[in-house]
């Protein structure tokens, strides 16, 4: 691998913030600590889950842990 090039993550995650109720289950479930709660509030007054931007493996555990249908989408590279 060329110097200065980081290994590409195997996946990434998007949280649809208005669907999130801020329960934190995705944060507890992620095996690589890839999620956190935002400092910001969504329109319903919840601190929403956010992908931290690196390290995702695309495993989908956060998706299955989330009780809100449609709050999380996981992508695989
Ligand atoms: S897909 Fe897996 S690694 Fe990626 S944020 Fe969700 S639980 Fe974490
Ligand atoms: S598990 Fe779902 S509802 Fe709970 S904080 Fe994560 S994205 Fe939001």
The structure's pTM equals 0.91
Ligand 1 atom nearest to CA at 55: 3
- Whose structure tokens read 């944060």? 27
CA of 16 to the centre of ligand 2 (A): 9
Question: What tokens were used for 8?
Answer: 């590409």
Report the alpha-carbon distance of residue 51 to residue 26 in Å, rounded.
10
Helices (H), 1-77: 25-29, 61-65
Domain locations in the chain as residue ranges:
11-76
Q: Is the pLDDT of residue 5 over 90?
A: no
CATH 3.30.70.3270, applies to 11-76: yes
* pLDDT band, residue 4 (cuts 50/70/90): low
Residue 54: name the closest of 39, 72, 36 by CA.
36
Q: What is the pLDDT of residues 32-74, one digit of tens each?
A: 999 999 999 999 999 999 999 999 999 999 999 999 999 999 9
Ligand 1 atom nearest to CA at 29: 7
Neighbour count for residue 38 (Cβ, 10 Å): 15
The protein residue whose alpha carbon is closest to atom 3 in ligand 1 is 56
Ligand 2 lined by 30 (C-beta under 6 Å): no
The protein residue whose alpha carbon is closest to atom 6 in ligand 1 is 62
């Amino acid at each position: 691998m060329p110097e200065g090039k980081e290994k590409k993550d195997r996946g990434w995650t998007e949280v649809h913030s208005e669907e999130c109720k801020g329960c934190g289950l995705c944060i507890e479930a992620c095996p690589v600590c890839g999620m956190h709660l935002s400092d910001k509030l969504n329109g319903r007054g919840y601190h929403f889950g956010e992908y931290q931007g690196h390290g995702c493996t695309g495993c989908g555990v956060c998706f299955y842990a989330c009780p809100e249908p449609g709050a999380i989408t996981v992508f695989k590279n």
